[in-house]
Structure formats: structure tokens, C-alpha cells
Amino acid sequence: MSESGGTYDLVVLGGGSGGYAAALRAAELGMSVALIEKDKLGGTCLHYGCIPTKALLHSAEVADAAKESETFGVKASFEGIDMAAVHKYKDKVVSGLYRGLTGLLKSRKITTVEGEGRLTAADEVTVDGAVYKGRNIVLATGSKPKTLGLDIDGEKVITSDQALKLDRVPKSVVVLGGGVIGVEFASVWRSYGAEVTIVEALPHLVPIEEESSSKLLERAFRKRGIKYELGTPFESVKTTDSGVNVTLKGGKTLDAEVLLVAIGRGPVSEGLGYEEAGVRLERGFVQVDENLHTGVGNVYAVGDLIPTLQLAHVGYAEGIFVAEHIAGLNPPAIDYDGVPRVTYCEPEVASVGITSATAKERGYEIVEMNYPLGGNGKSQILQTQGAVKVIAQKDGPVLGVHMVGSRVGELVAEGQLIYNWEALPSEVAQLIHPHPTQSEALGEAHLALAGKPLHVHD
């Protein structure tokens, strides 16, 4: 007979952003909570995603600053990259945050269970023979890199998981996939001195972004010497003595030391008892209603496991939403258009709201303003190129904010408030932005939309 792990108000399967957020909020609301995680609490974001990749991107920014120091009148020399020291810095950031998270979970009296859990009934999860009964269950088993069925040898053909641990800077890389993960690694390796080519089947880099943002990024990458093949599907890869030989549709071949497969992430849902319990899957994603409920018992699902935006902050918000819903707080549904999105390459790409193409599809009559960072004092001080584009409904609120440039990820928080509070351009135009900051570019774009273009040439 299997031993009992106990009965809880909430049992959470998966301790990543979505799972631990649900656990923390539920505990705060007075529920007893068990959180089950087979690897490390914090999940992909903390250990294999957002945090370590942004640490690499920051070290890449420091490398660029050293290389370009003469531009700013500083005599410095770039001696090269010490990957062991880069990993030491990255791992120190991760372990500090990991300690903080485990301490927080402990302080909230959450029972954390280490081991591989499986949904064995609509109200129970079994871990190594121990049964954890839950009045409510949250599935939060996340995602893993998609591999296209390629043989990932971890040396010549790698995913982002191995890319994070690479002990050397490859001389040349082919990056398969021009989405967020692909362009971020391309950016890092280029700053580190590698020759990089991105292969993307769709017509643009970061294809879900506003087309003008994609074009600005492509121009910036071209200047940086990052090559790309757009609108060109990948056909096959052969490993060679020196690395890989990649064939594209149409017959073009590319040789490199490493192939990074960065074509997105798929849900982790196989062999976990979901379907047996009656949970509906489509392409591996758990299907949920607007309350993130699976339609089975009191079973909910959040994060990369469900077909919403695969972003840590989305999983986090979904986890909080489910905890509040279970507690009867009746939280408002998440507006996924209102979620800020940032790609942390150099230059950064950030957006919130909808693109002009989506706005037109939805039948909006729109007006738009594109404000180049060339007219922004702080951007000139930072020597960054790019633009802020604002899309608004004609005689109505702002529908989208789309930005490209160094550090614009930090600006998108204001864009989020503008979009989510349905501000009119004229209302934003009244706000005084601090000078000299990049936030003024956002202010200027709204001034222009409100009919008061101060620094815009006709």
C-alpha cells in the first residue's frame, strides 16, 4: 500500500514561476500547500532561462563597452572572454536568488517535496509512492526546448540548456530560430567574438513583434556583423570533424562549430497521468477555460504547460490568479495583450499591447507615430539607435507600444500602464518626462499623436 503524503488545500505539481507563485499566494491566503518539484525550485526561468541568460547578456554588454571604450574617450583594452569567470558570476546570481526563494517558501510553511510527481486521480499527486491529496490541484510542469527530432549531442548540436553551460566561446555558430531565445544567444556570442548566422523560416527576426521593430533589429544586427537567412526553412544537419554542416531549403549550406536549436519550447505533459485523469491535451498543451480550469475536478493548469504566452511573468500571474480564484476572491481574467514582452539582445526589443497588423485585423481604424531615438538626448549619450512606435485607435486609446534600442526593456513598464489603463495619447502628452532620459521618447511619441509634435520633423 502506498504511504500517505498528507492532505492539503492545494497540491502544486511543478515549482517554476507559475507553480511557486500559486503556492506562495495560496499560503498567504491561509491554505495548506504542498509544492512538488523534481529538479530545483525556481524552474526554467531561474535555472535555465531568464536569469542566467540575462547574466550572459550583461557580461556581453560589458565586453562591448570594453571594445567600444575609445568612442567615449576611455582607454581600455578587450583581452577576451574568460568563460569560467562568466559562469561563476552567472551562477552566483542564480544561487543567491535560489536561496532567497527556498527561504521564502519555508517561511510561508509550504511543504516542498523533491521528486517526480504524477497525477494519479483528479484530487491526488503521487511522488515515489507517497500520495498527496489535494482539495485543489495546480499543474505547472512547464516546458522544455523543442528539438525537431534532431540528435542533440550537447557538443556540436545543442539547445539553450547546453548553451548556458558552454565552457568556451565557439568560433562560429548557426542559430536555428530567430525568436527570442535565438536572437539573445546570437547577441551574446557576437559580443564574445563569434561569427553568427541565424536561420529563420519566417520573413523576419522576432516575428511576433511589430514589423518595424523586426526591421530595426535586423538593421542593427547587420551593423554588428550578425548574419541571418530569413524566410529560409532549415532542411538538415550533418556533424563533421570540425563541427556541423547545415543545409537549408533551396540547397544553401552553412558550416559552423556549433548548431544551436532555438525553435521554441514545448510543454512537459507526457507520461504524467494527465490524459488518464481526463485532462484534455492539444499538441501536448493542457487545455483550460478562462479560469485556467481543466474541466476535471478541481484541477487547474498554469504557465508554459498551457497555450498562453511562454513568459515567466505570465506563469507567475497565472499562479496568483488560480490561488485567488480557489480562495473565492473572483480575480479579473488576465488580459494577455496587456503583458509586456522584452527580448534582451543588443539592441533590446520591447512591446506591450497589439501590433498594427492585429489592430487592423480586429477592425480598428488606427493612427501611429514612430519616434526615432536619434532625437532623444539620452539615447545619443548611450550611442544607441532605434525607435519608439505608438499605435492608437483613431480618436481613442493607445493600442500598442513598440520599442527598439539599448535598455528599452526598462521603459516598457510605462507602456504597460498606458495600454492597460486605456490612456488617450492626449492624457499621456500631459505627463512631464524627466530630462535627459529615454522615457522622453515615449512622451514625444504621445505628444505627436496628440497633435503637439515638438521634436518631430514634418
Residues 6+ apart with CB under 8 A from 182: 175, 176, 198, 200, 260, 262, 263
Contact 274, 286 (CB under 8 A): yes
The strand pair at 258-261 and 157-158 is best described as parallel
Active-site residue, 435 included = yes
Distance CA 195, CA 213 (A): 23
Backbone angles phi, psi at 358, to 5 degrees: -65, -40
Catalytic pick among 435, 446, 455, 457: 435
Residues assigned a catalytic role = 435
